[in-house]
Every structure is written in C-alpha cells, then in structure tokens.
Amino acid sequence: MKRLYLSDTVAGEIGSYITENQLEAGDRLPSVSEWMTRLQVGRSTLREGVKRLEAEGVIKVVNGRGIFVSDQQIFRLFSRLHVTDARQHLLEMLDVRQVLEGKAVALATVNACEAQFDEMAQYLEAYRQAREDDDFLRVHEADSAFHLAIYRASGNQVMVELIRSIHSELYASWQTPEDRNNVFDDSFPHHLALLEAMRQRDVVAASAAYVDLMASTRHTVEIMA
C-alpha cells in the first residue's frame, strides 16, 4: 500500500539512511528519482525534505552532480555511529534530548510570549487531529514542530541552532507504524500538561510534565520488540 510521507519524515528517512549506511562526508546519496521511488513521494514533498536537511547542514545538493553528505563536523559524529541495536540507539538519543530539551522547557516557561504558546497549541491541535485519523506521519510532523517551537521560545539562539543541526538524528523515525503510534498515543496527554504548565509560568510543573513525557516515551522504546 502506498504511504504518504510528509517532508519531516522524508528528512528523517534520508538522515537514517546516512547513519545506517555509515556514510562519510562527501559520499553520494541516491538520486532524486531514486528517493521518490524508495519513499513513494512526489517531487515537491521530497524537495522540501531535502531543502530542510540542506539548511541543517546534513547534506549538500550540487546541480548536475547529485546529493552528497555534508562535511559538517557535527554530522560526521552521527554518520560514524555504528548502530547495531536500534532500541539502544533510540534510548541514547532520548538521553541527549532530555538534557537539551529539559533546559529549553525551563527557559521557554519563563521567556515565551503568549503568541509562542498559541503556536505550540496549534501544533498540539494538529497532533490531536492526526492522532484521531491514525495518521502517524502527520503526528510525527506536528510533534516535531511542537518541540522545535519550545527551543525557539527558550530565547537561547545557540541552543536553537544546535538542535537544528542534529534535529534529524534526535527525532529519528520509529521502527514501525505500531511503535510510532504507541509512542504518540501514550505521550500526548503529557504534551498537553506540559503546555498548560508553561502557560502558567510554573517551571517546576513544566519540568515535571516534561519528565513524565520522556518517561512515557522511554517506556515505549524499552518494550519495543
């Protein structure tokens, strides 16, 4: 059955391909037409995913030559990871996320304006609607956008640029639709609690809600087959 991939998921799949194949800076990736066939997407959707990875410094597109792994130092670290246990890899990524995002949550709770909280609420509404439609790809995109909004609202531009540079790796796609649905179903209430606490400017409650969110996600990963 043909699957609909959104641009965020396309970017995640390409990033995962680089990591899984242990590609180095300068290595050539499959062509645009090959990616369209592999991911079953149209040219415009693929283009958006490629543009995002190029903006993050993960890949570079050379007209007339193809798509290549970037020489960005921070991505070399991930492209050299020898991932033999997908579950352990995801757990380690969650550790990194919790360190970075926990701080971003505390900062955003203090620094965010109401418009930024409203933006987060819009992403969670999109999350809710996609969840009801059992469209885990749209859920993934809405969830990713929600967390990126928290980083932007933190007011720490260094943190924002750092997370953008490694976003595709930290928010890696889950192994199966069932895994993704379980993650999103279990963690959704914690997202709502997190936003509410942030709106109330309650750093302690927001931090606790975020810990609960990550614990829920971690539990789902730990019980993956």
Q: Which pair of structure tokens corresponds to residue 202?
A: 């309650």
Mean pLDDT per 10-residue run, the chain (225 residues)? 55 80 86 89 85 80 89 49 59 86 96 97 94 79 88 92 70 50 74 97 97 89 70
Residue 8 one-letter amino acid: D
CATH homologous superfamily, domain 85-222: GntR ligand-binding domain-like (1.20.120.530)
CATH number of 7-77: 1.10.10.10
d(CA 186, CA 184): 6
Amino acid identity of 51? K
Domain boundaries, the chain: 7-77, 85-222
- Amino acid letter, residue 75: F
Q: Which residue has the tokens 């595709």?
A: 168
Quote the pLDDT of residue 3.
39
- What is the per-residue pLDDT across 61-120, written as a single tens digit (0 to 9) for each? 888 899 998 865 444 444 444 444 566 777 888 888 889 999 999 999 999 999 999 999
> How far is the C-alpha of 105 from the C-alpha of 209, rounded, in Å?
10
Residue 131: name the closest of 149, 119, 150, 146 by CA.
146
pLDDT for the residue 205: 98
Paired tokens of 157: 């531009």
Question: What are 60's strand-pairing partners?
Answer: 68
pTM: 0.65
